[in-house]
A and B are shown apart, each in its own frame.
Chain A
Amino acid sequence: MATLGKSQPIPKLNEHTYVAGRSNLARSLAQLRRHRMALVGAALVTFVILFVVVGSILIPEADSRYNDPSRALQAPSVEHPFGTDVIGRDILARVVYGGQVSLFVGVTAVIVQILVGTFVGVAAGYLGGAVDSVLMRLAEAMLSIPQLFLALIALRLFSDPTQFPDFTFMGRQYSATMIVIVFVIGLTSWMRVSRIVRSVVLSVKEQEYVTAAHAIGASSVRTVLVHVLPNCLAPIVVSATLGVAAAILLEAYLGFLGLGVRAPTPTWGNIMGQANSYLNQWYYWFFPALFIMLTTLGINFLGDGLRDAFDPKSLR
């Protein structure tokens, strides 16, 4: 965006400035690299990912489950850098393994959200007419109820432990609520994505190359996949990035209310849920909350950088 009253530096004339045929993607990536906040965001996200990955290599998974009431609620020490929780489990180990689940939930929930949102958006925009108005009314209806309320109701409906028992994967036991919550978050947050995609589809649909594709006999599916969807990529990438932060936060809120992923699976959210009545033991709630914040902060920085990079209006 041009700045009022301040002139932009004139680019130096050298051969790099006028290299022909720089692709949009290359230009966007270059733009992203210049975006300092995006770099900070990428660094934060990398740090959190390294923390949960390296942590899980150094600390055995059994540590996050091993409890010893005789060492309950100990303040941080060399042995337990983040302290111990109310039944004497090591909080560092729980933050590491809970973090893996939280990040997994955040990313997969967004995949669900993007798939549903894109499908609905393309269907509404491309088909138009009755399909459009039904789908958009549905989106409107779901937007008129707070997402937390919707998620709570959906979560309760599908978290009956007798119907959805715990399962074991790669030697670790997980609560089925972990999978349920992915779909609950994904299916209660696709509305904004579908609106964005729909508006892009509506404007692209009228372009000549889409008419041309039809004229040479391309099927509707091919037209959508090859000509329409690539145009939606940039806004989808941006909202997916920001969506991961929102999904991690929603998981944390549900866990905090004690209604999220159930034991034995730790998540940042349900550690917070147990910790919130132990106000005096600051280390109990401080570390999981800190990691939630670092993650969402990093992702939001990154998403904002991506938005600037992909938005042609912001090209300087």
Chain B
Amino acid sequence: MTQFIFRRLLQAIPLLFIISFVLFAFTNALGDPLAVFAESRQRPSAAEREMLVRRLGLDRPIFEQYLVWLVGNDWMLVDVRGDGSVMEPGTRKGVLRGDLGLSFVTRKPAWTRIEERLPMTLTLMVPAYIITVVLAIGIGVYSSIRQYSLTDNVITGLSFFFYSMPIFFIALLTIYIFGVQFPRWNLPGLPIGGTGNGSFPDLLVHMLMPVFCLVAIQLAGYVRFIRSSMLDVLNQDYIRTAHAKGLSENRVVQRHAFKNASLPLVTLIGLDLPFLLAGAVVTERIFAWPGMGRLFIESFERADVPVMMAILMLLCLLVVAFQLLTDVVYTWFDPRIRY
């Protein structure tokens, strides 16, 4: 087991280096990060701009920039004027020492940008995800033990319907009905976007619609997944044996079928969890929710490389970590598996 974890970690390290380099090269090619200063009131002169470019190292070859991003530049001197007259020691520590760099836009550490947005994203995504999984288990199991019944067909049809629905359609429809038409009909309408005035009940009210939309969209996939893995298990011989022993239907379903059917679910959840952090780009956009998805789009539009890289690398790291964790948890759920 220890050996397995160790081997997986060793495989993950080169992978992370390669991903980070490719992403670094791509994000750096997105545009001129200094374009934001052109709009600002204190527009820098050409000389100041050039100095800034040198301080940020944007004039260096991409490999060198990557190296600086990785290990920092506090061990070398930066030629600020370009003629060797002013040599400043670098200030960056590099990602490997936990310094994700400063945002090109706000000049605050990239990590603080993430810290501001992460809680908001999690407030939205975690409840939505928990509701999705719990509902999906209930519906999926129910529909599998009554396969091809009317209820099952209705559930399968509905889940296809929502599965195929673009999130913006359901979001705009719910906003239109509950946010726009309800007040017109003198019914209590729901707020259209934002996070409210800071009080907890108001936050909950603002969460209703986005959480509903996220659940509606995600639910279908999980229901279908659980239904089909339950069906696989229900066809096994040991289920027939359990029935033959005279065990009650509930006991067979709960103890014998669902326990085994939940194994693939564990994998699915393990692989999906890290992506909750990425937020939901479109949902956050529609509901004006200040989350990670919007942060990514904002930094993307302004070519804010440090923030984009911070988000992307955080995701990659978590995906790798959760894959490993899933494998470990698997052995605990299923003692048949040995590494």
A binding-site residues for B, Cβ under 8 Å: 1-4, 6, 37, 137, 140-141, 143-146, 148-149, 152-154, 156-157, 245, 249, 252-253, 256-257, 272, 276, 279-280, 282, 285-286, 289-290, 292-293, 296-297, 299-301, 304
Contacts and interface: CB of A to CB of B under 8 A. Distances in A.
A88 B168 CA distance: 23
B319 A144 contact: yes
B117 to A, nearest CB: 15
A283 B158 CA distance: 24
A2 B166 contact: no
Given A141-B19, A276-B286, A300 B163 contact: yes
A252 B145 CA distance: 37
Contacts, number: 113
Contacts of A157: 26, 29-30
15 contacts: A1-B235, A2-B235, A37-B160, A143-B319, A144-B19, A145-B23, A152-B297, A156-B31, A257-B282, A289-B169, A292-B166, A293-B164, A293-B165, A296-B166, A300-B160
Given A153-B27, A156-B30, A156-B31, A4 B164 contact: no
A4 B235 contact: yes
**Which one of B156, B163, B169, B319 has the greatest number of beta carbons of chain A within 10 Å?**
B169
A20 B281 CA distance: 55
A37 B159 CA distance: 13
Nearest to A154: B26
B169 to A, nearest CB: 4
B58 interface: no
B30 A253 contact: no
B278 to A, nearest CB: 5
B234 A300 contact: no
Nearest to B296: A149
A109 B181 CA distance: 39
Interface stretch (B70-78, B98-106, B172-180, B197-205): B172-180
Given A144-B19, A279-B175, A300-B164, A293 B169 contact: yes
A257 B285 contact: yes
Counting chain B residues whose Cβ lies within 8 A of the other chain, the interface size class is 35 or more
Contact of A285 (B15, B29, B172): B172
Contact of A289 (B161, B166, B282, B316): B166
A293 B29 contact: no
Interface of B is mostly: helix
Given A3-B148, A245-B164, A304-B160, A289 B172 contact: yes
A3 B316 contact: no
Nearest to A253: B282
B254 interface: no
A148 B27 contact: no
Nearest to A268: B166
A145 B315 contact: yes
Contact of B315 (A144, A245, A290, A301): A144
Contact of A153 (B11, B15, B26, B147): B26
Contacts of A297: 160-161, 164-165
Contacts of A144: 19, 315-316, 319-320
A203 B172 CA distance: 47
B239 A4 contact: yes
Contacts of A272: 168
B34 interface: no
A47 to B, nearest CB: 14
Contacts of A300: 160, 163-164
Given A3-B148, A257-B297, A300-B164, A149 B312 contact: yes
Nearest to B316: A144
Contacts of A152: 297, 300
Interface in B140-197: 145, 147-148, 156-157, 160-161, 163-169, 172, 175-176, 179-180, 192
A3 B30 contact: no
Contacts of A145: 19, 23, 312, 315-316
A279 to B, nearest CB: 6
A153 B315 contact: no
